[in-house]
Amino acid sequence: MPTVEVVDLKDGDFLLDVREDEEWQAGHAAGALHIPMSEFVARYGEFTGTAPQDGRVNVICRSGARSAQVTNYLVQQGIDAVNVAGGMQVWEAAGRPVVTDEGAPGFVA
């Protein structure tokens, strides 16, 4: 499965967060698109309407397991998607910002 390390992501790279609502509300990467894995197929049109048409989709969850499943699904659909290794746990540990919807500092739940 295609994978990317957190340290290789640049500001402005498209990030799809597939964690559940409670996890997202505790803290997430600013600018990420949030569609929980449990709702992903039903909300696929929302994803395709937002995702870059000619760019890579970086998929993230808490640890990398759920995002791996979504990445596999997207690759099967012909989308250039990669799993973010280690997920939001590694994101936070690398010192990347984690925020709430209000822009306050958040945490990875």
Candidates 37, 60, 61, 84; catalytic one: 61
Query: Are 4 and 84 within 8 A, CB to CB?
Result: yes
Query: Are 58 and 82 within 8 A, CB to CB?
Result: yes
DSSP single-letter state for residue 105: B
pLDDT at residue 15, as a whole number: 98
pLDDT at residue 74, as a whole number: 97
pLDDT digits (tens, 9 = 90+) for 74-92: 999 999 999 999 999 999 9
Q: State if pTM tops 0.85.
A: yes
Does 92 qualify as catalytic in the annotation? no
Task: Report the distance separating Cα 74 and Cα 36, nearest Å.
Answer: 14
pLDDT at residue 8, as a whole number: 98
DSSP single-letter state for residue 28: B
How would residue 36 be classed by pLDDT, with cut points 50, 70 and 90?
Answer: very high
pLDDT at residue 66, as a whole number: 98
